[in-house]
Each structure stands twice: as C-alpha cells, then as structure tokens.
Amino acid sequence: MLSDRRLLRTVASLLFVLVFVAPASSQKRSPEQIAKESREFRAAIAAHHICSGLWVVGRSCERTPEEIIAQDIAPFKFFGWEPDFKYEIDHEKRTVTVTAPGSPPRTAKYNGDQGSTILPRGETDVFFNPVKVPRNLPDAAKQPWPTGDLGATEPTPEGVDTKAMAAALDWAMAQHEQNTRAFVVAYRGKIIGERYAPGWTKDTPQLSWSQGKSITAALVGILVQRGHLKLDQPAPVKEWQAEGDPRGKIRICDLLWMSSGLDFINKGLGGPEAYSTENEHFRIYFDSLNVFEHAVNQPLKVAPNTRWSYLNSDPLTLNKIIRDIVEVQGEEYLTFPQRALFDRIGARNYVLEPDAWGNFILSGYDYGSARDWVRFGLLHLWDGVWEGERILPEGWVKFISTPAPASRTENYGGLFWLNRDGRMDRVPRDAYWSAGFMGQVTLVIPSHDLVVVRMGPSANGVYPYLNEAVARIIDALPEEPAAKK
C-alpha cells in the first residue's frame, strides 16, 4: 500500500503528464494570449518572492511586503512587476496571492523548512507532506570554526595586510549599483573580512539561484562516495530505459557537464515569450509544474557529450536520480541534503525549495547564508575533506573543476564555472565557482588558499566588478601564494 504522500505524488505526476507533457496544440497563439499568460506567470514569480522574502529570508531579516517588492522585484526588468499588480497576504495560512489585471490569481505557500512553493492554479496546498528539517548541530557561537562560528576571524593568518583588505571590502560595498548584500573572504581557512548591507547578517538566508546546481553536484558526489553511483554509468532514469531510446546513453558525467543533449528550450528572460510555457528552461521558476517530469520527458536533440549547453534539464534530472536513490534506501528525501551535506560542514541556514510535488528545484530556488556558502567553498578548497572526514570522493574536486569535454571555451566543469578562459583576467586561472542569477558567487582559488562569497541581486553584470574586487583582495595577501591545504 502506498503512503499518502507517495500516492499523492503518483496521482499528481500522472496528471502532470496528461496536462503538461502531452503535445500542445499546433494552433499559434495570439499576442493577446501570450501577454495574458506572461502577466499570470509574472504574478506567480512575484508571489514566490514575496512569500519567501517574508518567511524564509524573514527568519533572520524582518522585511515588509513593500520592502520586498521595492528591493527585490520592481527594480529588475527580469521579473516584469507592474504597478497595477495586486497582492494579498494570509498570515495564518502563510500564503501570498498576486493578481495581474485580466489574469487568474497565483498563490505561493510557505511550507516551513521547505520554504515557499508556487501552487498550481486553483490549488490551495502542495501535494507532499512538509517535514521538519533538524539541524543536528550545537550552537554555532559555542562550536569552533569552521563547523561553528567560534574563532572564525582569529587569529588573522600571517602576512595579511589588514588595512588593504578592509579597503578592498569597503570598495566592494561602495559600488552601490551592484546592490551587494554580503561580501566575505576566507584565507587559509579563516575569515579575514566580511561586510553586510544594513539589515543583512552572516546568518541571513539569501536567494542563491543557480548556486544550487553546485549543491546538486556535491549531493551526487556523496552518492558516488557511498557507492550508489558512478560517473561513467548510464543515468538510471526509468523514462529512458525503453529499447532503442537514445537517452539511455546519457551518463551521470554528461549531466554534470551540462552535455546531456536533451532538447530543452531556453528563451531567456528578455523577450515576449520569456514568461511562457514554451520557455522550458525558465518555466520551472514561474509555473507550478512537476519539474522532474518536465526535465526527463524531453527528447534528445544531439548525441550526449557532443554539445555543451547551460540548461536546467541536466541538474534537475540529477536531482530526480538523487531522490530515487535516497527513497529506495528508505531515507527521507526532504531532509537528505541537511543530513548528508550541510550538517557535516556546519551549514545551518540553507533552505531548499521544492515544487508542489516535493521535488527540489535545486537549479535555482535555494537560499543560503554568506557564511554557509563560505563553508561550502572551503569544503571544495580542501578537496572534499572536512576536519579529517572525507565527504566528497577522492578526485571529485578535480573532476568538477576540469573543463567539460564539450565546452569549447573550457569555462565550465561539473556544475561549476571555471576561469580557464580568463573571463576575469586579474583572477588566477585555477579559480572556479558556483554562480547564481544576478551575481550570486562562491569563488574558490586554490593557488591562493582563498574563498570569496558575494551575494545580493545585481542587474549590472558582476564579473568586471568581481575581477576588480578579487584583485584588490589578492593584493592584500602575502606576495607568495599560500600553499594548498
């Protein structure tokens, strides 16, 4: 007998296939229909942002709906907020409903430790049972760094020019057009500088967007370490196992390299079809759909490992594989990332948000604090070993920081970006980083034993800014690069 949760998941998935995966009508839609759909989806993403702004970010940074709209949504053309959009907040049910003129209202619901989820049109709840995610850690203030916060900033490593470091961080925060809310530097394992915008703290979970793809890579690495997966094995996706299905040749490494070859349309966020059902890549952020079914039920466009293309289909497929393995092992999927990864590195503030079916949208809807991202960076800087315990397999960090074979510019590895192409010409070429929309970055520079975290919604292209900021930071370090730990 299926559990209530699994029964709901099964029925909802069948409905998804019928409604969302079935071939769409070939009839071309009118501009008015496209505009109406766009308004509805823009209302949906706004509902999500307000909901998470109130109750996810609001865990440690109290904000009003007006502030969230004014600071996180309205200034950015990507989100398409219009003055005549209306919102309603139900504090008892912890829902936010946004209505655009001429379009159906869309609602997001806060589900405790699962954060916020956009509900399918007309629904009043999600199709999974939200669960508490325990943080099995002592008080951070009483536990030594890096697993806790005690002694995080002292003693300062020898040779650091503290005045120059302070000046570099002051410069970084003074570039107001970047809207930086957190900037943290760790050198030789110690935090040697951090700055926060007013109202934001080291513990405030901030929307990290596609930095979650790098979390996905780490979770896959943990399953490899446990012996459940191998990099070169065909992806264990049941939808791809039919005889003659070319998708059966897609490997785990192909998915990590963004080189699956799946046909997954990305229309960006600038054109009239940005907020449309045709925009398969971005649709997961504004339409309430089963994101795993959406990803794996796509045809193959080119042979695996022959084309590099930054598409959400690949990390979402990996997350489906993670869920399948974790549940077969009899573990609770919704608590798995905290137990398997975050608890082990002292990360207390991550919130990973699922769709209405309980599937993590870990290609973009993830929240983490600046210090927790520093910890994530240090885990990789230290070759996957944390205070003597190997968390990621030996050789894993080399894999994720080596160019994907199909990447012509060699600027992407295993769900991490690389500086091999010199995108930041004043930053060492061995640098690699997790990156999220609008400038969320956790930068690892092994040659300098350095981790740099920058957070905050920027619409101004952060790489020239980071290039200058990191160069100033490096200038404040000892002349000789630090030996790798």
What are the tens digits of pLDDT across the range 123-179?
999 999 999 999 999 999 999 999 999 999 999 999 999 999 999 999 999 999 999
Q: Does residue 122 sit in the same domain as residue 217?
A: no
Q: Does residue 102 sit in the same domain as residue 223?
A: no
Structural domain that includes position 45: 33-128
Question: What region, left, alpha or beta, does residue 374 occupy, with left being phi > 0 and alpha being psi -120 to 50 degrees?
Answer: alpha
Please give the residue that has the higher pLDDT: either 246 or 10. 246
Q: Does residue 460 sit in the same domain as residue 359?
A: yes
- pLDDT attached to residue 460: 87
Q: Looking at the domain assignment, is residue 15 inside a domain?
A: no
Q: Does residue 223 sit in the same domain as residue 96?
A: no
CA-wise closest residue to 463 among 185, 431, 362: 431
Q: Looking at the domain assignment, is residue 451 inside a domain?
A: yes
- pLDDT attached to residue 32: 85
Last residue of a domain, one of 107, 128, 149: 128
Q: Does residue 82 sit in the same domain as residue 225?
A: no
Task: Give the CA dihedral 416, 420, 424, 426, nearest 10 degrees.
Answer: 130
Span 440-458, mean pLDDT?
98
CATH number of the domain where residue 328 is located: 3.40.710.10
| Residue pLDDT, tens place only, 259-275 | 999 999 999 998 889 99
Last residue of a domain, one of 128, 151, 184: 128
Q: How confident is the model at residue 480 (pLDDT cuts 50, 70, 90)?
A: low
Per the DSSP assignment, residues forming a β-bridge with 206 are 368
Percentage of the chain exceeding pLDDT 90: 89
Q: Does residue 338 sit in the same domain as residue 466?
A: yes
Q: How many structural domains is the chain composed of?
A: 2
Q: Does residue 73 sit in the same domain as residue 216?
A: no
Cα 118 to the center of its chain, rounded Å:
17
Q: How confident is the model at residue 76 (pLDDT cuts 50, 70, 90)?
A: very high
Secondary-structure breakdown of the chain: helix, strand, coil percentages, each rounded to the nearest 5: 35, 15, 50
Alpha carbon distance 5, 220 (integer Å): 24
Q: Looking at the domain assignment, is residue 89 inside a domain?
A: yes
Q: Does residue 65 sit in the same domain as residue 214?
A: no
Mean pLDDT across the chain: 93
Cα 1 to the center of its chain, rounded Å:
35
Q: Does residue 112 sit in the same domain as residue 220?
A: no
Last residue of a domain, one of 97, 128, 159: 128
Q: Looking at the domain assignment, is residue 178 inside a domain?
A: no
Q: Does residue 318 sit in the same domain as residue 451?
A: yes
Q: Looking at the domain assignment, is residue 300 inside a domain?
A: no
Q: Does residue 468 sit in the same domain as residue 332?
A: yes
Q: Looking at the domain assignment, is residue 80 inside a domain?
A: yes
The letter for the amino acid at 410 is E
Q: Does residue 113 sit in the same domain as residue 221?
A: no
- pLDDT attached to residue 481: 54
Query: Are 116 and 59 spatial neighbours (Cβ–Cβ below 8 Å)?
Result: no
Q: Looking at the domain assignment, is residue 199 inside a domain?
A: no
CA distances 106 to 7, 88, 121, 475, Å, are 25, 10, 6, 50
Does residue 25 register a pLDDT over 60? Answer: no
Q: Looking at the domain assignment, is residue 361 inside a domain?
A: yes
